[in-house]
Chains A and B, each alone.
Chain A
Amino acid sequence: MTVFSLVIINKAGGLIYNKTFHEGGLNKISTNDYLVLAGTFHGVHAITARLNPIKPVAQPPAPGSNELPGRPEPSSGLEVMETENFRMQCFNTLTGTKFLLFTETTQTNVDVTIKRIYDLYADYVMKNPFYSLEMPIRCDIFDRKLLSYIREINNR
């Protein structure tokens, strides 16, 4: 059970955070390649959100009420990608920030882990007066809390 690395992408497709927790699980790539990866993933995600084999059906309003028919749930786009060597899970927040978590293929409860990372982000990044939105994340406390949380998972 190992979490390899975390990537956070802002809503414009820019890389704002990347951290490797376990050496040797994935090939090392340069910062430049991380930027390309973030941008490419952002594009691929936008395409997958449109790809939908089934025509979305709008929820009919409850009989007797005057409500307008609701919009169909938009498709969420790429969520999980599995390969022989790793598993990648994507969590897309309501505001369009994406969290990518690379783990071992046998990793369980990744969605719980990724929600917890989102919690940490909401606490230690968004409540920090010195963080400017959509910019790279440089917050000591966020780093510290994230590392200790992932270490706890990786040592389990």
Chain B
Amino acid sequence: MSSLPSSASTGKDSGLRVPSNGKTIYHRPLNRTKTSELSQASFAFLFSEMVAYAQKRVKGIQELEHRLNVQGHSIGIKLLDLLLYREPVRTQLRPQNVVALLHFIKQNVWQHLFGRQADRLEKSTDAEKPDEYMIIDNEPLVNQYISVPREMSQLNCAAFVAGVVEGVCDGADFPARVTAHTVGEGDMWPGKTVFLVKFRSEVVEREAFLAKS
């Protein structure tokens, strides 16, 4: 952010602010921030305010989770483009089947956002639900400092990350519904979270059709 000029001159009457030297955020190279890291403390405060903001005027926990989901969704769509752009040219391909997409999320997206990969990837064992997959994170970074009060025990603030995953899936043309669930595992991983990815039926149909041909 240091390259942003401190005094931005405003355009005459339009609401758009353009810095005096004409360089906007769109002039910056996309790869410059590839390896840079952010302070986790400032992110924690920002995220805390995002949750508090989403909590205003909501009626229930589901609505709150939905709002967090929406906050993450647009990030996911943009992140897919950015991460593919940063891939080496030869592998610059959009994931073309469900498994490739989920691996891309587990590895690239997680690595970019949290500096490590997600812990596990599973397919639902229920034969009736071939459209459900699970991405498992033992210790979601967004929840590191958050203690959910007892009366809201249903809530998992990683709904925001679920929104990001949903955005990536939607952007790759695999429309899905993603939700975050807490499944604490004793004292070892009390905050273990499962991201349940439920693809739409047409995705499953297409997948079956492509597998045959």
Q: B149: which of A124, A138, A142 is its contact (CB, 8 Å)?
A: A138
Chain A residues with CB under 8 Å of B148's CB are 130, 140
Cα–Cα, bound, A138→B153 (Å): 14
Whether A127 sits at the interface, judged by CB under 8 Å, is yes
Chain B 102-129 near chain A by CB (<8 Å), digits 1 or 0: 0000000000000000000000000000
Whether B205 sits at the interface, judged by CB under 8 Å, is no
CB of B147 within 8 A of CB of A127, answer no
Chain B residues with CB under 8 Å of A44's CB are none
Chain B 30-55 near chain A by CB (<8 Å), digits 1 or 0: 00000000000100110111011001
Of all chain B residues, the one with the shortest Cβ separation from A143 is: B147
Whether B209 sits at the interface, judged by CB under 8 Å, is no
CB of B149 within 8 A of CB of A129, answer no
CB of B45 within 8 A of CB of A127, answer yes
Cα–Cα, bound, A128→B49 (Å): 9
Cα–Cα, bound, A124→B144 (Å): 8
Chain B residues with CB under 8 Å of A141's CB are 145-147
Whether A123 sits at the interface, judged by CB under 8 Å, is yes
Chain A residues with CB under 8 Å of B45's CB are 127
Whether B89 sits at the interface, judged by CB under 8 Å, is no
Whether A139 sits at the interface, judged by CB under 8 Å, is yes
Taking the closest CB of chain B, its distance from the CB of A137, in whole angstroms, is 10
Taking the closest CB of chain A, its distance from the CB of B30, in whole angstroms, is 30
Chain B residues with CB under 8 Å of A139's CB are 147
Cα–Cα, bound, A144→B190 (Å): 11
CB contacts between A and B, total, < 8 Å? 38
Taking the closest CB of chain A, its distance from the CB of B150, in whole angstroms, is 8
Residues of B156-172 contacting chain A, CB below 8 A = 157
Size band of the interface chain B makes with A: 10 to 19
Taking the closest CB of chain B, its distance from the CB of A149, in whole angstroms, is 15
Cα–Cα, bound, A134→B41 (Å): 21
Cα–Cα, bound, A49→B32 (Å): 52
Whether B152 sits at the interface, judged by CB under 8 Å, is yes
CB of A128 within 8 A of CB of B152, answer no
Chain A residues with CB under 8 Å of B49's CB are 129
Residues of B33-82 contacting chain A, CB below 8 A = 41, 44-45, 47-49, 51-52, 55
Residues of A124-156 contacting chain B, CB below 8 A = 124, 127-130, 138-142, 144
Chain B residues with CB under 8 Å of A123's CB are 44, 145
Q: Which residue, of A123, A128, A130, A139, has the highest number of chain B Cβ atoms within 10 A?
A: A130
Residues of A97-140 contacting chain B, CB below 8 A = 123-124, 127-130, 138-140
Chain A residues with CB under 8 Å of B149's CB are 130, 138
Seen from chain A, the residues whose Cβ lies within 8 Å of a Cβ on chain B are 123-124, 127-130, 138-142, 144
What are 22 A-to-B residue pairs whose CB atoms are below 8 Å?
A124-B145, A124-B147, A127-B41, A127-B145, A127-B146, A128-B145, A128-B147, A129-B47, A129-B48, A129-B49, A129-B52, A129-B55, A129-B146, A130-B51, A130-B148, A138-B147, A139-B147, A140-B147, A141-B145, A141-B146, A141-B147, A144-B190
